[in-house]
Each structure stands twice: as C-alpha cells, then as structure tokens.
Amino acid sequence: MGSVVNPNNYPAKENVFTILVVAFTWAVFGIYIPEESLFLLFELFILVLIGISLYYKNSLDVIILSVIGVIFFVAFTLVDETPRFILMRTAALSAFFLLGFVLMIGPLSRISAPFLRLYKYRRHIGVTVFILGVIHMTQAVNYHGLDPSDLLAEGDFAALGILTLGGLLFLAITSWDYAQKKFHPLFFDVVHLLWIGVVFYVIWLDIQEYGSWGEMEPAGKKWLYPILVLFPLVTFRFSFAGIALKSVMPWKQLHMLSWVIFLTLALHALTAYDSLDGGDELVKPVWIYVFIVFSIHGGVWIQQKLLGRKEICSENKQINGKIFYKTANVSEFQEKKGKKFILNKVPVAIFKVKGEFHAYSNVCAHQKGPICKAAVDGEFIVCPWHNFQYNVKDGKGPVGFNDFIPYYQTLEKDEFVWVSLMN
C-alpha cells in the first residue's frame, strides 16, 4: 500500500464500523417504529450519526448526513402523506439521485477540479446509497405488507428492488481495501454470474405477467433488460472484454456493475410509478436524469478522446544512444503543475519542480489515477484520487512502501523538453 498525505480525508475504520452498525440497527428495527414517532426518531437517528462523525472528526460524513437530514425534514414537512410512505419514497429517491451523482463524479473529475477533489470519496458516498436502500426496503416491506422471505416472488417490482439492493450490498462490501485484497477472484466471478441469473429471473417474471416480451410495461424494459445482461457479460473476467481488461483488478470489474445497478434502480422506480395513478408525471424526470448521467459520461469520453489526439507527440531523435521524444516548449510548463503527453502510446506526466523537469508514467500504481493532475507536496507528488505518494526525483513510494511509478529521463534542448522512455 502507498502512503496517504491527509489521513483525515478518509473515514477512520472505527467511524465506518460504528456508522454501519447504527445504520443497520435502525434500518432493521425501524420497521417496528410507530407512525407517530417515525419522523422524530429518524431525525434523531441522523443526529446520532452526525455526532459519531464529529467525534471521529470526519467532515465528509457530517456534510452528507446533514444534507440527508435536511432533505428528509423538508419531505416530512411538505408532503401530505403518512410518515412511513414519506420515509420510504424519500429514501428511494435520495438513493437514486445520489447514485447518479456518484457515477457523474468519475467523468466530471477529468474536466473539473472540484469534482476531482470529490473522487476519493466516491466509494464512501456509494455506501451511503446502500444504507438509504436498506431503509427504503425495510419501510417498503412494512408499508406494502410484504413477506420478507418471499420478496423475489412478489413480481418484477420487488425482484428489481432486491436485485438493486443486492448489487449495492456487494459494492459496499468490496469498497474497502481489505476486502479487495482478501477476497478470492472467484468471489467476484460468482457475483457477476449471480447478477445475470437474477436478471433472467426478473425477465421471466415479466414474461409470465405480461404474456410476451412485446407486451412488457413500462416499455423501456425491452431495451434496458439486454443492457443489464450484456454489460456484466462483457465485464466478466473470462469474457473477451474481461481478458482484454486483464490488468484491471477483479473487484474493479465488479464495480463496473454500478452503471447497470443505476439502471435497475431506475427500472424499479419506473415499475413502481407505472402502477400509480398519475405516475406518468414521475416517469419523465427519471428518464431525464438517466439521460443526463449517461450523456455526461459519453460527452466527457468524447472530449477526452479528442484531447488525447492533441497530446500525442511523435517527433523524436536519438541523443546519447537513447530515443527522446519532443514534448512542449519550456515556457509552457508551470511550477508544480503537471502536463500530460502520449509518447509512443505511453501516457506520460511531466512536472516542473524548482526549475527541474521530471517525467513519470501518468498511471498511478494504486488504481490508475491521473498523475498529471497530482499535487506536489514537498518531496512527493500526490495522486489526486486516493493521495498515494511518489518521490519527485525517482517516482518511488515513501520509505517502507513498495509501490512506484516508472520514472523517465528528461532533457532540455532547443528550448523544448524531451523525454526518453528507455531506462
């Protein structure tokens, strides 16, 4: 493991454990709370979690929980429905929009500094989505009078909800480095296959209910279901794409499911609205939000591809027996600010530190973060994704850590910076 410059940016293990225990306790036993006490006890529950976060000096949790507390307070105050219905629906909607926000952080971090600073917190926010999902499920079971032991047989609405919550559960479990290291790759393969199996089960339920594929309601299922099957198959470790992504850790391939989990959550919401009077008014915002999330990802991907063409540097010459690639004029570099280049298909980050030029692989050894956007802190450059450190002068991790990034020789010649990929 690499070093972390600011450990307080990450929730302490005790903080995470305590919050999860308290959250699960309330979610499970919240089903038995009388309607008249539900609002006050839920807000008290949020205040307890905020207190725990303040005790452990975790500002991120305080912010997230405060926002959730305000959202639920507004919902309880303005919505004319039973407290359990409000809690159930608000938890579901909060989870849906928060999961979409988590998915948008990734692409937006490539073009926005504020979102780049949020990147390291994606997993933590994702666990918050799971907790909201548990709250929604427990309240829905109570509100609809469902049998918890037989939810999968309740039809597509319940099956989609269980599929979504199960997916969020596996993502939450594997969001910590310990699980990522200790879990056998076979675990992640089984989860992929389990996901595909449950999706086929949901499709079968729908065909039984509506009589045929073409009669399914809402209509969006007919094109979303294939995505829910094909995407996990594509990212499966033994698929053609999985083999091509062999450098990607198995847990990372599992976390790619977050995109289809977002779609199952949308389908769950659409199925619920389809059965409600006036539900058509709620369908459009769901589709708009889904479109926004995927459009941002696609738009940034296209923008990065176009930008990548400008970063390619092909001009090279042999100097002192080594091939050096011409990058940019010396005047284009700012002190302690990285610039990205593609040299012979290799992504390279170049920094100017105290007037000297240093070149590294642009891929962090931890989770392939963009080194070109790293901060320079004393003798280290610090990856913006998870604060992993590398020595400015050789790309090695701090004393006691084995991780490193390739370090390349630089040369100033003809007012340009040249880089050799040869050791």
Last residue of a domain, one of 281, 307, 333: 307
Specify the pLDDT at position 152.
Answer: 63
Q: How many domains does the chain have?
A: 2
Note whether 325 and 376 are same-domain residues.
yes
Note whether 328 and 302 are same-domain residues.
no
Note whether 321 and 200 are same-domain residues.
no
DSSP string over 281-317: HHHHHHHHHHHHHHHHHHHHHHHHHHHHHHHEE--EE
Specify the pLDDT at position 247.
Answer: 53
Note whether 250 and 116 are same-domain residues.
yes
In a domain, 2, yes or no: no
In a domain, 1, yes or no: no
Note whether 61 and 125 are same-domain residues.
yes
Cis peptide bond prior to 218, omega within 30° of 0: yes
Note whether 40 and 117 are same-domain residues.
yes
Q: What is the CATH number of the domain that holds 363?
A: 2.102.10.10
In a domain, 99, yes or no: yes
Specify the pLDDT at position 5.
Answer: 42
In a domain, 178, yes or no: yes
Residue 109 has, within 13 A of its CA and on its CB side, a CA count of 21
Last residue of a domain, one of 260, 283, 307: 307
Note whether 244 and 329 are same-domain residues.
no
Contact present, 195 and 167 (Cβ < 8 Å)? yes
Specify the pLDDT at position 1.
Answer: 35
Last residue of a domain, one of 245, 279, 307: 307
Note whether 254 and 366 are same-domain residues.
no
In a domain, 161, yes or no: yes
Check residue 388 and report its DSSP letter.
B
Element of type H or E holding 95 = helix 83-108
Note whether 172 and 220 are same-domain residues.
yes
Range of the domain at 348: 316-420
Note whether 355 and 248 are same-domain residues.
no
Note whether 302 and 338 are same-domain residues.
no
Give the chain's residues under pLDDT 50.
1-11
Per-residue HEC secondary structure of 132-191 comes to HHHHHHHHHHHHHCCCHHHHHHCCHHHHHHHHHHHHHHHHHHCCCHHHHHHCCHHHHHHH
Note whether 205 and 267 are same-domain residues.
yes
